[in-house]
Copies of this chain bind each other. A is one copy, B any other.
Amino acid sequence: MSLVLGGKSAGRVSPATAQAVRDAAERLGYRPNLAARTLRLGSTRTVLLIVPTLTAPFFGDVYRGAARVAAEHGFGIVAYPWPDDAGPADSPFAAPHEAIDGILASSLAADVASEFRDTPVVMLDSDPEGHGSAARPMPAVLFDVADGMRAVTAHLADLGHRRIGHVAASIDQWTFHARGEALATAVRALPGGSYTRTSGALDVGSARDAAGLLLDRPDRPTALVCDDDLIAAGAYKAARARGLDVPGDVSVTGFDDVQLATALEPELTTVRLPAEALGAEGMTALLTLLKGGDPRPRSLPGELIIRASTAPPARGSG
């Protein structure tokens, strides 16, 4: 009968019959029942993309990239926004667990990964090292944030900066840990380089206060490297509140290149991350994993976008 619709008709049913069946199906508005198929096959051909609400600007691009390669393989993707303030405690996985074949977990806190022990998972922009009791590295696709931070440092060094302040995000995510380490290393490797650091929550007010601490030091940094673009907006405010010009008196850099970067005045020098590629590579890795393969780790380079928030340090302060 309707095994035509499965696409298995090749060499089974006569083309004419096949067409007739298809026509009838179309006419009656027939739709294959997903639940029955899932029950029979034992797989849903659906993967769950977990994103943190807070870091959402990317989300659309990551989804698009993942959805594209998923579609090419007959998979669908649904998104789940992980509550920002939630540890692994309140796992909302009542339903999904049985309803999906795999998980793409983007930018999660270090220890939530342990939630999905029994479902294939690829970490995106997240700590590949397993945390908690049974530490075991997991497949991952990362942004090469270290390379991005080195590019930022090199750019500032070229301009003549040596005293560099880091306004960090006090968020327990791999990406921020990696950003901080890479920056500290790069600045300290600079001849005469000095690295100072404060941190705050991921909102404008906290970032302003954190940046202010750095700007009030006697040996005030000539450049503020911020963990992301929103923090950079806070740094702008701190500078302005002290009558300091950006970039005349302090250079400021961001990270991520979200829309905010060009909304600010002056426009922000920042690092653009290939979010869509992250989603696509992640889905590719998950597909490999589901086929029993062992996806090799990938790291996607960012791109330094130089705008108007960086300039040579004022004379006498460098």
Q: How many copies does the complex hold?
A: 2
In the bound complex, do residue B203 and residue A259 qualify as a contact, i.e. CB atoms below 8 Å apart?
yes
Contact among B45, B79, B94, B262 for A79, CB-based, below 8 A: B79
User: Bound state CA distance, A78 and B83, in angstroms?
Assistant: 14
**Closest residue to A41 on the B side, CB-wise?**
B35
Would you call A205 an interface residue if the criterion is a C-beta within 8 Å of the partner chain's C-beta atoms?
A: yes
**Closest residue to A262 on the B side, CB-wise?**
B204
User: Bound state CA distance, A95 and B59, in angstroms?
Assistant: 21
In the bound complex, do residue A98 and residue B64 qualify as a contact, i.e. CB atoms below 8 Å apart?
no
Bitwise interface map of A from 46 to 86 toward B, beta carbon under 8 Å scored 1, else 0: 10000001101101100110010001000010111101000
Find residues 231-254 in chain A having any chain B CB closer than 8 Å to their own CB.
233-234, 236-237, 240
In the bound complex, do residue B64 and residue A60 qualify as a contact, i.e. CB atoms below 8 Å apart?
no
User: Bound state CA distance, A197 and B313, in angstroms?
Assistant: 43
In the bound complex, do residue A263 and residue B39 qualify as a contact, i.e. CB atoms below 8 Å apart?
no
**Closest residue to A95 on the B side, CB-wise?**
B76
Find residues 145-170 in chain A having any chain B CB closer than 8 Å to their own CB.
none
Give the shortest distance, in Å, between A128 (CB) and chain B (any CB): 26
B residues within 8 A CB of A79? Answer: 78-81
B residues within 8 A CB of A284? Answer: none
B residues within 8 A CB of A259? Answer: 203-204, 230, 260
In the bound complex, do residue B63 and residue A81 qualify as a contact, i.e. CB atoms below 8 Å apart?
yes
B residues within 8 A CB of A33? Answer: 39, 98
Give the shortest distance, in Å, between A91 (CB) and chain B (any CB): 13
Give the shortest distance, in Å, between A25 (CB) and chain B (any CB): 14
Q: Give the size range of A's interface with the partner.
A: 35 or more
Find residues 96-127 in chain A having any chain B CB closer than 8 Å to their own CB.
96-99
In the bound complex, do residue A80 and residue B81 qualify as a contact, i.e. CB atoms below 8 Å apart?
no
B residues within 8 A CB of A34? Answer: 95, 98-99
In the bound complex, do residue A95 and residue B230 qualify as a contact, i.e. CB atoms below 8 Å apart?
no
Would you call A5 an interface residue if the criterion is a C-beta within 8 Å of the partner chain's C-beta atoms?
A: no
B residues within 8 A CB of A234? Answer: 263
In the bound complex, do residue A230 and residue B35 qualify as a contact, i.e. CB atoms below 8 Å apart?
no
User: Bound state CA distance, A260 and B39, in angstroms?
Assistant: 46
**Closest residue to A57 on the B side, CB-wise?**
B56
Contact A32-B98, Cβ < 8 Å, known A56-B57, A59-B56, A59-B81: yes
Would you call A44 an interface residue if the criterion is a C-beta within 8 Å of the partner chain's C-beta atoms?
A: yes
Would you call A36 an interface residue if the criterion is a C-beta within 8 Å of the partner chain's C-beta atoms?
A: yes
**Closest residue to A207 on the B side, CB-wise?**
B263
Would you call A9 an interface residue if the criterion is a C-beta within 8 Å of the partner chain's C-beta atoms?
A: no
Would you call A3 an interface residue if the criterion is a C-beta within 8 Å of the partner chain's C-beta atoms?
A: no
| Residue picked from A32, A33, A63, A263, most chain B C-beta under 10 Å | A263
Return the 7 tightest CB-CB contacts between A and B, nearest first.
Answer: A53-B60, A233-B263, A78-B78, A35-B38, A76-B95, A79-B79, A34-B98
Give 19 A-B pairs besides A35-B38, A233-B264, A264-B264 with Cβ atoms closer than 8 angstroms: A34-B95, A34-B99, A35-B39, A35-B98, A38-B39, A46-B99, A53-B59, A53-B64, A56-B56, A56-B59, A56-B60, A64-B81, A76-B96, A78-B80, A79-B80, A259-B260, A260-B260, A263-B263, A263-B264
